[in-house]
Chains A and B, each alone.
Chain A
Amino acid sequence: MNLAIVSGKGGTGKTTVAVNLAAYMSRERDIRLLDADAEEPNAVLFFQADMSRDMAVSVMVPEILHEKCTRCRKCVEMCEYNALMMTRKGVLLSPDLCHSCGACMYVCPEKAILEKFRETGRIREYHCKAYPRLQVIEGDLHRGESRVTPVIDDVLSYAGPCTIIDAPPGTSCPVVETVKHADRVLVVTESTPFGLHDLKGVAAMLRLIRKPFQVVINRHGQGDDGVENWCKEEGIPVVLKIPFREDYARVIAGGGLLIEHFPRFREDMACLAKDLCGKGL
């Protein structure tokens, strides 16, 4: 069972919920926490974790054999992403624009194009002594790379029987790629007009791809009732309200787990876990 924790808006507390829920649930079962927020992975910061594996994520890009190339331009014309260009020196590749579709290689009449690997990110696996049944796996896209989905795909291939996925923020391709693999989705939002606006966006996306979801309202008590009222109108279940508290914020800012400091929060995670387990996680 895969649970994806998403948020339309960034900074709503997606990672807070993911790391605490994963740590809490790992006390009774093996849990894999996948950090798919590969442009800024940070879940592991909440654990005193040791890295046990560090692997490359690679994509395929064309390699032009210039001595075979007759400069017919078929590859340049075929490339949907403008990654190939014809110059005085021959075909030139902009690797950052290549989507690894292989069409250039397919159309080349001279067989002057081969494929080679190009590293665009890393996958790291961590274990921590305090939570021996928890495994944290993060995807980390290299700086300057624009295509995050190959890294996300790789991270998600580590999904196990009981998996919690910390998704990237927003509603675009990286999030769709992440929730595609999820059986259940929790949307973390905050009770502000911005939170509501982005919740509507992510709700529309999840409905489009037919993923059922529930809502967690973070920093509850701050802002307004917009999110709660909208969820009520739409019939979307709100499974948890995390109160807005300064002592919570301090612990999170210090890289700590709320379940280790606040019995009330531990109970919140227990309820959430029970609710999720009752439905098969």
Chain B
Amino acid sequence: MKILFPSVGNTLDSEMDNRFARADWFVVVDTETMESYALRNGEKEGGHGVGRVVAQYVVDADVDMVVAPQVGPKALTALESAGVKVITGKSGKIRHIVEELVADQ
């Protein structure tokens, strides 16, 4: 399963960003191989409706799940309608959250 996290840095040891669509980075983790990569968020300074633009990137990156402290209403509706699972209310280091999620499975 591919999970995407909004992040303040570009590694697995970075903290999650409290903002979703305006985060500096997105870190994508494949929980089967534990491989990860980071995408720089080019829409960070975008105007109104940026949540929808970012949602399109997430869908195009073929991600199954988004985990974030919070997700704005526009991004949330778009992601959910596109069939991406969204989990909010999590914060802290991405590595810890991944371990937690893998343990739960």
Chain A residues engaging chain B, CB cutoff 8 angstroms: 76, 81-83, 85-89, 92, 94, 96-97
Contacts and interface: CB of A to CB of B under 8 A. Distances in A.
Nearest to B56: A85
Contacts of A96: 74
A52 to B, nearest CB: 37
B77 A94 contact: yes
Given A86-B59, A87-B59, A88-B59, A94 B82 contact: no
Given A82-B49, A94-B78, A88 B56 contact: no
Contacts of B83: 87-89
Interface of B: 49-50, 52-53, 55-56, 59-60, 74, 77-78, 81-83
Contacts of B59: 85-88
A85 B53 CA distance: 8
Contacts of A97: 49, 52, 74
B41 to A, nearest CB: 15
B102 to A, nearest CB: 25
Nearest to A76: B56
A92 B82 contact: yes
Given A85-B59, A87-B59, A97-B74, A92 B81 contact: yes
A253 B72 CA distance: 37
A65 B18 CA distance: 38
A90 to B, nearest CB: 10
Contacts of A86: 56, 59-60
Nearest to B53: A82
Nearest to A88: B83
A81 B49 contact: yes
A86 B62 CA distance: 12
B49 to A, nearest CB: 4
A82 B77 CA distance: 13
A85 B78 CA distance: 8
Contacts of B55: 85
5 contacts: A82-B50, A85-B78, A87-B59, A94-B77, A97-B74
